[in-house]
Amino acid sequence: MSDQVEENQVSDDDWAAAMNEQAVTETPAAQPAAATDIFEQFGSGAGKAAQPQGYEMIMDIPVRLTVELGRTKISIRNLLQLAHGSVVELDGLAGEPMDVMINGTLIAQGEVVVVNDKFGIRLTDIITPQERVRKLNR
């Protein structure tokens, strides 16, 4: 039985192979800015060795990561009529990038990937803090 459980789990090697495959297909210009570059202003300026005091404390704070396929509004009457096999139409289009949100805030967009029958998401566009502020001002 333990052999069967091991077969269904995705190993770190499988994900590493998927990430290497992605790295080979992308050009360096298409790579998003690293998180350390985006948030460099919060550092002490001395590089990775000198982290702000308390920075390590926030590393274990859990956040809710959500990947949104689409949305729809539905009346309670139609909701109660749903049964096994019912189809609910969403506003997202097939092939459209999916929104990746942290605690309800859009931080990136990505595409679905499958590795050993497990779903994942490959980030294709990261929303910068400046873009998030611009969207708030609209």
Class of domain 10-137: mainly beta
- Taking residue 100's Cβ as centre, other Cβ atoms within 10 Å add up to 20
pLDDT at position 68: 84
Query: What's the whole-number mean pLDDT along residues 73-77?
Result: 93
Average pLDDT score over the chain? 76
Q: What number is the average pLDDT over the span 5-12?
A: 57
Question: For 98, phi and psi rounded to 5 degrees?
Answer: -95, 145
Query: Which of 8-17, 41-50, 68-77 has maximum average pLDDT?
Result: 68-77
- pLDDT of 5 over the 50 cut: no
pLDDT of 91 above 80: yes
Residue ranges per domain, the chain? 10-137
User: Do the beta carbons of residue 129 and residue 109 sit within 8 Å?
Assistant: no
Average pLDDT over residues 12-33: 66
Per the model's pLDDT, the better-predicted residue between 93 and 2 turns out to be: 93
